[in-house]
Amino acid sequence: MVKIYQTIPCNFDSSIQVVSCFVHFSKSFILLERASNEADPGAWGIPGGKMEEQESPFQAMKRELFEETSLEANMSLRMLGSLFFRRPAIDYTLQVFELQLKEPPKIYLSEEHSSYEWVTPLQMKEFKLIPGTIQVYRYFYQNVRSL
């Protein structure tokens, strides 16, 4: 259903760039549930979305974080790296970030999402996730080099 590569695969269409972010507070990170009128309704994922033309990955990530959670990312926004996603109908590059929060944040959702949860890595497995979310977590936080 989804194949994830560390290096660019053959004939990859690199026109679509997506940014996403692990927002950590204490031992948890935030998951957002896609609203019923969105693509893949009811699926849970970390904040993110498609990069717009003229945006840098950092600008796109700050914009998406603000739109989706109302968080204003500061200097502590860090890029972890990129992975290449191949789904049956679409290729895209996922640029993955992390943001470590020291204070409990106030979250305001947009209409794109219906709810949010702070989850530990173990709890994440209980959610109906956007495919690839666990592999991405493992890759960046548990040093699993094969996806």
Ligand X SMILES: Nc1nc2c([nH]c(=O)n2[C@H]2C[C@H](O)[C@@H](COP(=O)(O)OP(=O)(O)OP(=O)(O)O)O2)c(=O)[nH]1
- Residues forming the site for ligand X (CB under 6 A): 18, 20, 39, 45-46, 48-50, 85, 94, 130, 132-133
Q: Around Cβ 97, how many Cβ atoms within 10 Å?
A: 26
Q: CB of residue 111 vs ligand X: minimum separation in angstroms?
A: 11
Task: Give the DSSP H/E element, type plus range, for residue 33.
Answer: strand 28-34
Q: Of 15 and 102, which CB lies nearer to ligand X in the complex structure?
A: 15
- What φ, ψ does residue 10 adopt, rounded to 5°? -60, 140
Q: Of 49 and 105, which CB lies nearer to ligand X in the complex structure?
A: 49
Q: Of 36 and 103, which CB lies nearer to ligand X in the complex structure?
A: 36
Tell me the residue nearest to ligand X as measured from the CB.
Answer: 49
Which residue shows structure tokens 């760039």? 17
Residue 31 in contact with residue 45, Cβ under 8 Å?
Answer: yes
Q: CB of residue 85 vs ligand X: minimum separation in angstroms?
A: 5
